[in-house]
Amino acid sequence: MRVAVGGIFHETNTFASGLTSLDDFRAYQFAEGPALLNYRNTRSELGGFIAGGEERGWDVVPALYAAAVPSGTVEQAAYDHLTSALLERLFANGRPDGVLLALHGAMVTEQDADPDGDLVRRVVAAVGPGVPIVVTVDFHANLSDPTTEGVEAVIAYDTYPHVDMFERGQEAVDVLASALEKGRRRAVIHRKLPLLTAPQTQYTAGPPMWEIMQRVADLEADEGVQVSVTPGFPYADVDCAGFSITASGHDRALLSQLVDTLTDFVLSRRDRFRFEPLPVGDAVRRAALSSRTPVILVDSADNIGGGSPGDGSVIFAEWLRRDLTGIVVTLADPEAVAAALTAGVGRSVRVAVGGKTDDRHGEPVPVDGYVKLLSDGAYRHFGTYNQGFFTRMGRTAVLEVAGNTVIVSERKAMPFERQQLLSLGVDPLHHRALVVKSAVAWRAAYADVAGEVIEVDTPGICTGHLSALQYSEPRRQMLGIAGHPYEAPRATRSAGLPARR
């Protein structure tokens, strides 16, 4: 069996400034042809595809994989180039017998609010009706009907922080193998819920998501079907934004009843998606007094994993205003890096750090710093998030500022891997506090060393207060704001689970 693997992966924040270019994809994760097989030893969905396929004796045909760090709208030319290259390489050695696609599910381009749906539609049309396709998506996918049509299954991560990508890749291999071996096509049911929730409330080890994910696991075990829940990515003001439930199997009537039941269960917990952070001053004061270190100060409104610029300065400015020491802050700031490079290691530098991308994440903070280290900013993931991946922050400087550690880099990097700091000689265990620019996924790197966790009410385009964002009217209705009450998607619901098959 010849099975093609590939994908285009981007989470697009439509509130972010700037566009995402082809160079942004090339700077993060990019491989085409045989180079894609280098993901074999990563704990990613691609790693699951390749390992699972090779274990079954398949000829794994590497097409193209491209991913960019979450950011603003994708340039149409970049999407068109990547899509054309992917489609061409799917047929590099003739028509494949099956296809495995790794997508995020929340990409937006200049001309298309649902390019993931467009990509799936084009792949389905290209390979024809006799070739089964299985798609994996991120937990924060904004799924649409086109993304789920003509495929065997759409399989989402079950965890947030995302630590099960490899397993979901292998699950996709199992589903595809069944279709290839038995020739029996599966039905897919997709249900969109009128519900936008903040990522800060979607932690799968806490309420309400842990209850929902446990119900998903029970349904899969009891009924022998595949079920995925995607809470969605709320920082994309597009029609397909929000919560989805998707199920696949061989009994369409059963799937429909299961999805109805799970929809009821999710909507009954709608009011439990609450985010209650501390004001910046209160959070800094509490961290300064805490005896449980390191304190994790969660700057989720500047969530790099949600498309924010990664240069939010509000917490650091307040920390300095109080003459506190011992904090570690990472900032994407090419200008500060250039100043540190000019000064050199062991020299002093006067520079303003952070707050430069826009006016929504704080102002630049003037500092007098000492350049402790200069680096190429490259590190490999050894933890639970995409283990084996290689991240490049660009040229990076470690500054000592009034007893604090400030890391400035040319490119932003998601704080999901402890090697980001350790590779620079910075161990969070030796510091009083650490600012993480993330909503939940930082836990993959630092949950096991956190002395105390403080959610901070910072400004930014990834705020947990969704009503503060300038949504268009359909999304405002989903939030139940601006005088529009919440309405259930259907007038009637199924009474309960169907009988066991």
DSSP E strand boundaries for 224-318: 226-230, 244-249, 295-298
* Bridge partners of residue 62, in order along the sequence: 5
More confident residue, 473 or 96: 96
| Cα dihedral 331/333/339/345 (nearest 10) | 40
Please tell me the predicted confidence (pLDDT) of residue 500: 25
183 confidence band (pLDDT: 50, 70, 90):
confident
Q: How confident is the model at residue 168 (pLDDT cuts 50, 70, 90)?
A: very high
**Across the strands, what pairs with 436?**
298
Torsional sign, CA 212, 303, 142, 11: negative
Confidence of residue 478 (pLDDT cuts 50, 70, 90): confident
Residue 78 backbone dihedrals phi, psi, to 5 degrees: -65, -45
Whole-number Cα distances in Å, 244 to 137, 145, 147: 12, 10, 12
**Torsion angle of the four alpha carbons 300, 301, 306, 312, in this order, in degrees rounded to the nearest 10:** -100
Mean per-residue pLDDT for 212-218? 97
Judge whether residue 482 has pLDDT over 90: no
Tell me what pLDDT residue 440 has.
98
pLDDT digits (tens, 9 = 90+) for 4-63: 999 999 999 999 999 999 999 999 999 999 999 999 999 999 999 999 999 999 999 999
- Band the pLDDT of 171: cuts 50, 70, 90: very high
**Edge-first strand listing for the sheet containing 396-401:** 348-353, 365-375, 396-401, 404-409, 327-332, 433-436, 295-298, 452-455
Average pLDDT of 66-78? 98
Count of CB atoms within 10 A of residue 181's CB? Answer: 10
Strands 133-137 and 98-102, how do they pair? parallel
Residue 79 to residue 25: CA distance in whole angstroms: 10
How far apart are alpha carbons 399 and 437 in whole angstroms?
18
Answer whether residue 280 shows pLDDT above 50: yes
pLDDT tens readout for residues 309-333? 999 999 999 999 999 999 999 999 9
Quick count: other Cβ atoms within 10 Å of Cβ 280? 20
Task: Please give the model's pTM, rounded to 2 decimal places.
Answer: 0.93
* Beta carbons of 442 and 423 less than 8 angstroms apart: no
Ramachandran angles phi, psi of 372, nearest 5°? -90, -35
* Residue count (the chain): 501
Q: Would you place residue 373 in the very low, low, confident or very high pLDDT band (cuts 50, 70, 90)?
A: very high
Can you give the residue ranges of every domain in the chain?
2-272, 280-455
User: What pLDDT was estimated at residue 480?
Assistant: 57
pLDDT at 445 over 60: yes
Say whether the peptide bond before residue 459 is cis (omega within 30 degrees of 0): no
